[in-house]
Structure 1
Amino acid sequence: METLIVVVLIFGLLVSIHELGHLLVAKRSGILCREFAIGFGPKIFALKKGETVYTLRLLPIGGYVRMAGEDPEIIEIKPGQSVGLFFDSKGMVTRIVTNHLEKYADARFMTVEHCDLEKGLHISGYEEEDGPIVHYNLDRKATYVVDDQDFQIAPLDRQFASKTLPARFLTIFAGPFMNLLLAVVIFIVYFSIQGVPSNAPLLGSTIPGYPAQKAGLQANDQVIEINRQKMNSWPSIQNYIGAHPKQKLSFTVKRDGKIRTINVVADQRKAEKGMEGFIGVYGPTHHSILASLEGGVTQTVYWIQMELSGLKMLVTGGFNLNQLAGPVGIYKATGQVVAQGFLLVLNWTAFLSVNLAVINLLPLPALDGGRLLFLIVEALRGKPVEPQKEAFVHFIGFAFLMLLMILVTWNDIQNLFLR
């Protein structure tokens, strides 16, 4: 249960921050944002604030910001349709009721001749069967009512497609960017608590029950020699221990101004090039605000490079598909991280945030990167790709991603139960 709660909190945070990036830049650009949703499927919570409905949905597998103009509008008011109208004190139409008119006895009824909800913002028609055509202007924030639910109209200049290319590009890019920014912030917090790694020839904290702690080595011991070999940095200590598994190591350390000799027998563990020695000691760290800030940025950049390297290997065949983890694999890994404490949960959250940003920026249909690719194509050719063609490509891409998700999840299940 603890793992489940942590997984929900982590992914809720990552998705919320991602979609918040889209929302903030979209609103800044003047785009009407109808809904900010966390999750998919049926609503379990909804709150309207301003023009936007904020919803929490049943399936915690993502989220979205529904911007006007990205999808076809919910309703089209056609000639011959009967509607009910409500007005403000200036005679502007503020609500257009499209069905269940019998519930709105106080409305002014009209048989529509023409209705423009995007450009001219007006509606005209007959209020009486043999009467003249009457014309009314629409308030820019007027709503149309469908099944007793109000939806704000979207004038053309409030729609996503009407904005400049840079504004649309930044709106899409803002989601992954916010995940990278979140990773930087989390790593800064992590280094502020844990300390920033140092190359000094010092020992960090020791792990209870392992050789270093059992032999009496302590945090902040300055390592002068190991087996009479000079040690001038933490990497040199690490490398020497790693090269001597199952061997006796004679540490000469300086502690509280005194020189001590402590003997340790290294354990061994599997490594990429065979077995390596280890004694159960972390590297040294130091605390500094500037170092924590720098560490937050450099650690984020490091994980971006690692993600890109892994993707390159996947394309070139140097990466085994069975190594990919889906929701089940991530859940299992999160459980292992939770068991090791809060700091590792922080580290893991930052890593997943970087992962989400990099994956989303891949130029694949249905991802933010795919949408950015279409905007780049638009910039190169001087006109946008036809909406129907773009929607079809995104649909195919989404289907492919769902298939990949199923395959990866099946691989996770095999790893958990069948091996």
Structure 2
Amino acid sequence: MLKTVVSFIVVLGLLVFIHELGHFLFAKRAGILVREFAIGFGPKIFTRKRGETTYSVRLLPLGGYVRMAGEDPEVLEVKTGTLVYASQTSEGKIDHLYFYEPIGLDRELMVGRIVEIDWEKELFVCLETEDEQEVRYDLHPTAILHVDSKNEMQIAPWDRQFGSKTSGQKAMTIFAGPLFNLVLTVLLFILYTSLTGVEYRLPVQLIQPNSPAQQAGILPGDEIQGVSGKKVDTYDMLRYELLESGGKEVILKVKRGDQLLDIPVTPQKIGDGYIIGATFNQNQMLRDATLLESIQSGFKATYNWSVVLFEGFGKLITGQVSIKSLGGPVQIGEVTGKVADAGILPLVRWAALLSLNLAIFNLLPIPALDGSRLVFIGLEAVRGKPISPNKESMVHFVGFALLMMLMLVVTYNDIMKLLPS
């Protein structure tokens, strides 16, 4: 159990970190102030501030986020007449503004009451001094507002906010998360192929008695090359095409010596999948991969599995696949534990598939996901002006609520699958 939990946290943590790293790096590249880089949700269990950004690890390891200035409304109400304490740089600009009386500071502070303040556009604060004079001071672009002894906020001038950037910069910042997961997927598949070899053929070694393969006349030594017109050269692709058949007859393209045969076979349902009752010679399925072949295999596996996932999402939307078939965190954790028990190589492959799932799922135009945010940015580019922030926030809020409901449903499905029947 402990190994399952640790494996799940490590794998999911890696995938989330890479995803959020994409958002983070492209936000910084666009000049956006990143307030927090978080792994997980809920209460903080680790936090450290470096430069402008707070890096945190939170209790629930089920996601993460990069909080960018201006992405959501930043509300800090400052009333006229509020007593504040301020420090200045050598150029006379205010770099720290305290909304309480700080104790034990080694810098000189001036005191005044706020008459007017603008920390987004004009960057100034007008203070009424003790002798009732109104004095205007410039705010430093990185000035810190100290709300109380535990909470502070760096100001975000308009040019450092998400909303000030071009549609292209915003789109790349959002798209970078799924993009980084796609890159990670390719790299993990490249690593897997370089360590295991390249799978390039499906030579039959044994035929199970009374199996569909035996009844169809498939023999040891045959090589399966296709299923119903689709080329297959890996065991995963064969399994997928058999699953797609739903138990209906398929035509196997079989090489026997110098002959190419079309052999009809009706797969047999076993558990959640379908088989034909043939086992394959592992030694003859694989050969050592060159660096170029490993790279090609990484891209090819990513493409093939992307097609599979998109087809799966399509069937879910059209009702061909029941929502009961979806797996959530519990099932992912269980499978991750089993894969970890099988060794590091199966875990690398499983991590690649999870990373691809995360990338593609996030690109779907579902409210609260990256795909939906890209749709809004696209509409902004077409209209020449952004959608109302309130309307967009409402769409994402409703979408997030629906996603949480979906998560509850699939988690319930997971638990019911684990319970004895």
Q: TM-score range by the shorter chain?
A: 0.7 to 0.9
Cα distance in 2 between the residues matched to 1:31 and 1:379: 19
1:347 is aligned to 349
Cα distance in 2 between the residues matched to 1:142 and 1:358: 39
Cα distance in 2 between the residues matched to 1:359 and 1:75: 35
Identity of aligned residues (%): 44
Cα distance in 2 between the residues matched to 1:101 and 1:49: 23
Cα distance in 2 between the residues matched to 1:169 and 1:274: 42
2:317 is aligned to 315
1:127 is aligned to 129
1:387 is aligned to 389
Aligned-partner SS, 1:344 = helix
Cα distance in 1 between the residues matched to 2:275 and 2:383: 56
1:153 is aligned to 155
User: Would the alpha carbon gap of residues 343 and 269 (structure 1) be closer, same or farther in structure 2, given more than 3 Å must change?
Assistant: farther
1:71 is aligned to 72
Higher relative CO (Cα under 8 Å, sequence separation at least 6) belongs to: 2
8 A Cα contact 2:204 2:221, kept in partner: no
1:99 is aligned to 100
Aligned-partner SS, 2:375 = helix
Aligned-partner SS, 1:339 = helix
User: Would the alpha carbon gap of residues 122 and 275 (structure 1) be closer, same or farther in structure 2, given more than 3 Å must change?
Assistant: closer
Paired residue type of 2:49: K
Aligned-partner SS, 2:84 = strand
2:42 is aligned to 41
1:53, distance to aligned residue in structure 2 (A): 0.9
User: Would the alpha carbon gap of residues 99 and 294 (structure 1) be closer, same or farther in structure 2, given more than 3 Å must change?
Assistant: same
User: Would the alpha carbon gap of residues 7 and 308 (structure 1) be closer, same or farther in structure 2, given more than 3 Å must change?
Assistant: same
1:199, distance to aligned residue in structure 2 (A): 2.8
1:230, distance to aligned residue in structure 2 (A): 7.3
Cα distance in 2 between the residues matched to 1:392 and 1:273: 41
1:303 aligns with 2:296: no
Instruction: Name whichever of 382-391 and 26-35 sits farther off.
Output: 382-391
Cα distance in 2 between the residues matched to 1:325 and 1:127: 63
1:219 is aligned to none
2:413 is aligned to 411
8 A Cα contact 1:46 1:53, kept in partner: yes
8 A Cα contact 2:204 2:222, kept in partner: no
8 A Cα contact 1:79 1:114, kept in partner: yes
Show CA shifts across 1:284-335 (max 9, x none): 2222110000000110111111110001101111112111000111112112
Show CA shifts across 1:213-259 (max 9, x none): xxxxxxxxxxxxx96x97467779999xx9xxxxxxxxx99xxxxxx
8 A Cα contact 2:40 2:62, kept in partner: yes
1:143, distance to aligned residue in structure 2 (A): 0.7
8 A Cα contact 1:144 1:150, kept in partner: yes
1:191, distance to aligned residue in structure 2 (A): 0.2
Paired residue type of 1:39: G
Paired residue type of 2:370: D
1:192 is aligned to 194
1:80 is aligned to 81
Cα distance in 2 between the residues matched to 1:94 and 1:103: 18
Show CA shifts across 1:174-209 (max 9, x none): 000000000000000000000111238697xxxxxx
Task: Give me the CA root mean square deviation.
Answer: 2.7
Show CA shifts across 1:320-375 (max 9, x none): 21110001111121122122221111110000000001110110111111111111
Aligned-partner SS, 2:39 = strand
Alignment of 1:360-399 (within 5 A): 360-399=362-401
1:98, distance to aligned residue in structure 2 (A): 1.4
8 A Cα contact 1:202 1:284, kept in partner: no
Show CA shifts across 1:77-104 (max 9, x none): 3321111110111111010001345676
8 A Cα contact 1:198 1:234, kept in partner: no
The TM-score with structure 2 as length reference comes to 0.82
Cα distance in 2 between the residues matched to 1:275 and 1:16: 38
8 A Cα contact 1:269 1:277, kept in partner: no
Paired residue type of 2:376: F
Paired residue type of 1:145: H
Paired residue type of 1:296: G
1:73, distance to aligned residue in structure 2 (A): 2.1
8 A Cα contact 2:367 2:399, kept in partner: yes
2:91 is aligned to 90
What are structure 2's unaligned runs of at least 5 residues? 208-217, 227-231, 243-255, 258-267
1:217 is aligned to none
Cα distance in 2 between the residues matched to 1:402 and 1:200: 42
Show CA shifts across 1:138-167 (max 9, x none): 111111112223321100000000000000
What are structure 1's unaligned runs of at least 5 residues? 204-210, 213-225, 243-251, 254-267
1:74, distance to aligned residue in structure 2 (A): 4.8
1:277, distance to aligned residue in structure 2 (A): 2.2
2:281 is aligned to 281
Paired residue type of 1:189: L
The TM-score with structure 1 as length reference comes to 0.82
Cα distance in 2 between the residues matched to 1:122 and 1:135: 7
1:8 is aligned to 9
Aligned-partner SS, 2:156 = coil
Paired residue type of 2:385: K
Paired residue type of 1:22: H
Paired residue type of 2:181: N
User: Would the alpha carbon gap of residues 312 and 29 (structure 1) be closer, same or farther in structure 2, given more than 3 Å must change?
Assistant: same
User: Would the alpha carbon gap of residues 100 and 364 (structure 1) be closer, same or farther in structure 2, given more than 3 Å must change?
Assistant: farther
